[in-house]
Structure 1
């Protein structure tokens, strides 16, 4: 899995997490238990953490900065 692929997967998963959070709120408003939706959200967040770790490993492997830089920003 390449660095660009991991980054796009992280972005995709973050969008999915937002949708899942909205769904949980809707379930709560309707008085329906969101337990299974919350469990799915937990798994999604764990997946994002794994992908971020993979991204950082790939960046380190290729000699890129791992933290502290914003696109076009300064390195303090």
Structure 2
């Protein structure tokens, strides 16, 4: 089973891909080319990222990571 670092790296990699895909869709739209298929792919990529984030959060919770809302290095008063 992959560890939390794998999920973090995969999320980061896929977010970069999504950025490139969005730029490509904009270029196609400016050129007047149909982008329906590219937008469907983008939707699937975003859904995949969401699933990876859920799994990452589950693993983080299991490992007893910092509680939500706390700032790293924040004051403890």
List runs of 5+ in structure 1 lacking aligned partners. none
Aligned length: 75
1:25 aligns with 2:26: yes
Q: How far does residue 75 in structure 1 lie from its aligned partner after superposition?
A: 6.7
Identify the structure with bigger relative contact order (alpha carbons < 8 Å, sequence gap 6+). 2
Question: TM-score, normalization: structure 2?
Answer: 0.88
Aligned position for 1:48 = 49
Superposed structure 1 runs of 4+ greater than 6 Å apart: none
List runs of 5+ in structure 2 lacking aligned partners. none
Q: How far does residue 74 in structure 1 lie from its aligned partner after superposition?
A: 1.9
RMSD: 1.7
